[in-house]
Amino acid sequence: MQGSKKIIEALNTLLTAEMTSVDQYFIHSEMYGNWGYSKLYERLHHERDEEMSHAKMLIERILFLDGVPDIAPRGKLRIGKDVPSMLANDLETEYEVAAALKKAIVLAEKEHDFVTRSILTKLLDDTEVDHAHWLEQQLGLIKAMGINNYLQSQAS
């Protein structure tokens, strides 16, 4: 099915954001594992897998619309130096992805592509409710418990 070039371009922009998130989560999860924070490692590994599933959904939609998925470009990686900066950087990335998803949802509505809109709405829900919310919780726990207690709770 021939899709709107604007929609395909927006989907490829989102694909870049998702693949950037995959890379960032991958690096952060490995850093957590190296430092012995097994709970953070497991959670970020899970988040990376979810970002890959988001990318897969975008690729499938681009292909359905007769577009060509472009996974080569990446956004700027924000690699933290410690746990709080890593969590904050990941949260900033999620906020940016959410903003891009909202913009693409508006475009999908304008182009009357309601299937794409539905897919993007699901991704937005996952981004806001699962990813961003969890990161906000972790930063709140650090503030409430102190960094030493938080890190102790994340170790194996």
Q: Which residues are annotated as a binding site for heme b?
A: 52
Distance, CA of 96 to CA of 77 (rounded, Å): 13
Annotated binding site: 18, 46, 50-52, 54, 94, 128, 131
* Structure letter (DSSP) for residue 132: I
Among residues 35, 106, 58, which one has the least CA distance to residue 44? 35
Q: Write out the binding residues for Fe cation.
A: 18, 46, 50-51, 54, 94, 128, 131
Q: What tokens were used for 85?
A: 């900066």
What span, in angstroms and rounded, lies between the C-alpha atoms of 144 and 142? 6
Distance CA 65, CA 154 (A): 43
Please give the Cα distance from 40 to 70 (Å, whole number): 30
